[in-house]
Amino acid sequence: ISSSESREIKNTYFNTFPLIRERQNRYDDHLSSSRIIITPFGRRRQFFGRWGSELKKQAYAYVPQSTVADVLNLALTAAHRMLEKQVPSAEIMLQVHDSFVFQYKEETLPVIIQILNLAFNIPITFEDRTFTIPTEVEIGSNWEEMDKYCDIYYVKGRGVVEYESQ
């Protein structure tokens, strides 16, 4: 596409989602004064690179990417502790980027879903809003044959809600 088309698409995007531009402007202010961005969990990163679009892209991506990783690691730790006590036969196999895999006996699935409901109910407060990250549960006999089982997310005033997709 041409430069003018690109600018038009970008302007339309930011006119549709003005809060994204506002957040980017706040990040730019932090970067220009201290070069430090802090996540909702208090993780700090100082950006040393040369000022420009690449540095800004890294800063804009830092908070969402590290927050998802922090939530996953906190949930994984909580799930592991609960599984050890309630479903000792379940095994956490690995953590990959934004997910984790474990094996379990089929009859323990309802308890495991309850554990995941609790483990992933991690409130995040960011820019005066509190929310949780929705979680998707997939099951299958192997990675190639995984099917979505349910979504788990927190609804203010209702607590954790599980919506089955089957």
**Residue in 23, 17, 14 with CA at minimum distance from that of residue 64:** 23
**Residue range 108-137: mean pLDDT, rounded:** 87
Domain of 61 in residue numbering reads as 3-65
- pLDDT at residue 117, as a whole number: 84
Same domain, 88 and 150: yes
Whole-prediction pTM value? 0.78
Beta-carbon contacts of residue 129 (< 8 Å; ≥ 6 apart):
none
131 and 103 housed in the same domain: yes
Q: Are residues 72 and 154 in the same domain?
A: yes
**pLDDT score for 154:** 53
